[in-house]
Amino acid sequence: MFLTDSTRSLIRLALAEDIGRGDCTTQAIIDANLQARATVYIKQPARVAGLPVIDAVFSELGSTVQVTHFIEDGQDVTGERNAVCQLEGPARSILMGERTALNFLGRLTGIATMTQKAVSQLTLTSTKLLDTRKTTPGWRLLEKYAVKMGGGLNHRFGLDDMVLIKDNHVALCGGVVAAVEKARASVGLSTKVEVEVDTIDQLKEALTTNADLILLDNMDTSTLCQAVQLTNNRVLLEASGNMTIDRLAEVAQTGVHYISMGALTHSATSVDVGLDITFE
């Protein structure tokens, strides 16, 4: 489950940022004993992600607010006013946690929705969509969870997951072959090794190594086709660099196994969400 200690720390940080020394408006005008019911809405068609975070927000508040889900993460809503959950409990707690809960839900649903749209471009191919490490600092687990809810796959979570030799590593090591050999000697066969190449010549070098994956960086479609033909399924290929939703189908048709897309997390737009409250 994505609600780890680090995620809960992020939620506590967000609540502290918003509430500060106290919700002076709510504390001034809302009776401490007042109970209320509220409904959370997503106001546009979307792929939902982040509902468990709403539970966690009110749990971290230490409140007795009960959350009832009407839908599960990974499901789609299609209307302009989609009720996704209901809150019941102290009105003060609902009001204090409202913005933090909605911020998480809107952001994560936005990522899932963009991912679902991107994945739909690959349905007639065997190519899989990957995310990247271009995530909001502190939000990585949540944002990568949202990618999964949208139908995408997670690439490495951090620098400790696998070896990914980038262009700067290659430059400092003196070449593709030297970099892969040094990496493999260090980590052994139990850790995956991927190497980035920018040209067909570099790809030819990479194919002489025992890399598990080769990342084809910023190649145009014709060059990607050459790379796939040259590789002939000897190693898995990942296409990356300036990928847009409009380009995904064309790239997938080249036959690459994976496409990684940083925009899933760094450029997704939050969906419109809201909360309506009533007295019990």
Residue 84: HSE in the Cβ half-sphere, 13 Å Cα cutoff? 36
Closest among 207, 194, 50, 209 to 130, alpha carbons compared = 194
CA dist 17 to 182, 234, 244, Å? 45, 51, 34
11 vs 65: CA distance, rounded Å: 16
List beta partners, residue 90.
35
Q: Which residues are catalytic?
A: 99, 134, 166, 196, 217
Concatenated DSSP letters for 6-57?
A: HHHHHHHHHHHHHHTT--HHHHHHS-TT-EEEEEEEE-SSEE---HHHHHHH
**Phi-psi region for residue 122, left (φ > 0), alpha (ψ -120 to 50) or beta?**
alpha
Residue 14: partners with Cβ closer than 8 Å, 6 or more residues away:
57, 100, 103, 104
CA R_g for the chain: 23
